[in-house]
Amino acid sequence: MAPLDVDASGAAAVNELIVDTFNMNIPGPILPGLEMMIGLDHMIIKQVIDMLEVFIEMDFSNYYEVFDPRGMRLYVIGERTGCCVRLCMKTTRPFQFDVSTAFGQPVLTIKRTCSCCLVMCNGFCCNEVTVIHTLSGKVLGRISQVFCACSPTFNVYNESGGFVAKIVGPFCGAACPECVCCSASFNIYLPGVGPSIGCVRKVMGGLCTECCTVADTYEVTMDPNMDLELKATIMGVAMAVDFTYFESPSNNCGKGPFWEILFLLIVVAVIVVIVVVVLSRKSEKDSGPN
């Protein structure tokens, strides 16, 4: 993962953020690299696809970039799994993501055990646990998918195993029209708190992106005063949601045949229009005066 080339304006923005960080009253020590999340209430996580993966239809290591609302890149997230694991286990594979700042400083590691679900969108008989920890091995949070007959649900636990948040997806899981349209909201709820305090939302991509690739974009909103460790864990939630519901073309919540058929029909329509225009001009030219 190459570090970001920062120009003068980018360096000024970073310096401004560092000054704001020192001026804020944040209790306790701040883990290196997490200071970028202080006061942050909105971030965009974009998956980057290698074009070779599109043409040969082979699973490459996933790669994501995290941006703040101003478009400044905060983190890069790179998958580190073996080729055989990716080819044989697909989206049920265990994974490890290394999270680094835009300057190449390692920050966090996101690990998931092997996922084995009989009913993927409901989490039935599922033993999927995603762990977010620092480079020293300190656990910041755990994300566990739980069975729910109506909506995809994840529970979030802190270092000591205490329940700190629940992530609830759209009603009826894959049958929800939002998922069919490749867009869905996973709301964040704190224990004992009624309204949602944030959301991990799958953003609808363009036609070519949705039907030809598994590249996804997630918009994460959260309370700016939320604990930094919980914010880092919410970033891991986006990885768990992506792999569980939107990574595989065969998933009901992913890229289904609807988009492929629609894209094919549009391509055929464009070709027909071009042929008609060419033949019409040729006919006019042939019927014109000699």
Dump pLDDT digits (tens) for 94-131.
889 999 999 999 999 999 877 665 444 444 445 578 99
What Å distances lie between residue 236 and 33, 152, 206, 251, 274, CA to CA? 15, 16, 25, 20, 47
User: Residue 149 has which token pair?
Assistant: 């007959």
With a cut of 70, say whether residue 260 has pLDDT above it.
no
Categorize the per-residue pLDDT at 265 as very low, low, confident or very high, splitting at 50, 70 and 90.
Answer: confident
Q: Is residue 194, in this structure, part of any structural domain at all?
A: yes
Q: Give the whole-angstrom CA distance, residue 200 versus residue 220.
A: 5
Q: Give the whole-angstrom CA distance, residue 95 versus residue 61.
A: 10
Total H helices, total E strands in the chain? 7, 12
In the predicted model, what is the mean pLDDT of residues 140-148?
Answer: 87
88 vs 73, more confident: 73
Q: How far apart are the first and last CA of the chain?
A: 65
Q: Is residue 269, in this structure, part of any structural domain at all?
A: no
pLDDT of residue 119: 44
The whole-chain average pLDDT of the chain stands at: 76
pLDDT of residue 28: 59
With a cut of 80, say whether residue 11 has pLDDT above it.
no
Q: Is residue 169, in this structure, part of any structural domain at all?
A: yes
Q: Give the whole-angstrom CA distance, residue 172 versus residue 263.
A: 27
Scored b (16 or more CB within 10 A) or e, 73-89 reads bbbbbbbebeeeebeeb
With a cut of 70, say whether residue 19 has pLDDT above it.
no
Q: For 147-163, what is each residue's pLDDT tens digit? A: 777 788 899 999 899 99
In the predicted model, what is the mean pLDDT of residues 74-81?
Answer: 92
Q: Is residue 281, in this structure, part of any structural domain at all?
A: no
Number of domains observed in the structure of the chain: 1
CA angle, 254 then 256 then 45, to 5°: 30
Q: For 150-198, what is each residue's pLDDT tens digit? A: 788 899 999 899 999 999 988 764 444 444 456 788 999 988 867 888 9
Task: Evaluate whether 187 touches 170 at the Cβ level (below 8 Å).
Answer: no
Q: Is residue 1, in this structure, part of any structural domain at all?
A: no
pLDDT of residue 51: 66
φ, ψ (nearest 5 deg) of residue 158: -85, -170
- Full-model pTM: 0.70
pLDDT of residue 202: 87
Task: Evaluate whether 121 touches 49 at the Cβ level (below 8 Å).
Answer: no
CATH code of residue 236: 3.20.90
Categorize the per-residue pLDDT at 81 as very low, low, confident or very high, splitting at 50, 70 and 90.
Answer: confident
- Non-local (6+) Cβ contacts of 135 within 8 A are 106, 107, 108, 109
Q: Is residue 267, in this structure, part of any structural domain at all?
A: no
- Non-local (6+) Cβ contacts of 260 within 8 A are 211
Q: Is residue 265, in this structure, part of any structural domain at all?
A: no
Q: Give the whole-angstrom CA distance, residue 17 versus residue 12.
A: 9
User: Residue 263 has which token pair?
Assistant: 């894209």
Half-sphere exposure of 179 (CA within 13 A, CB side): 23
Question: Which residues is 83 bridged to in the sheet?
Answer: none
Domain range enclosing 177: 8-255
Q: Is residue 289, in this structure, part of any structural domain at all?
A: no
Categorize the per-residue pLDDT at 222 as very low, low, confident or very high, splitting at 50, 70 and 90.
Answer: very high
SS3 196: coil
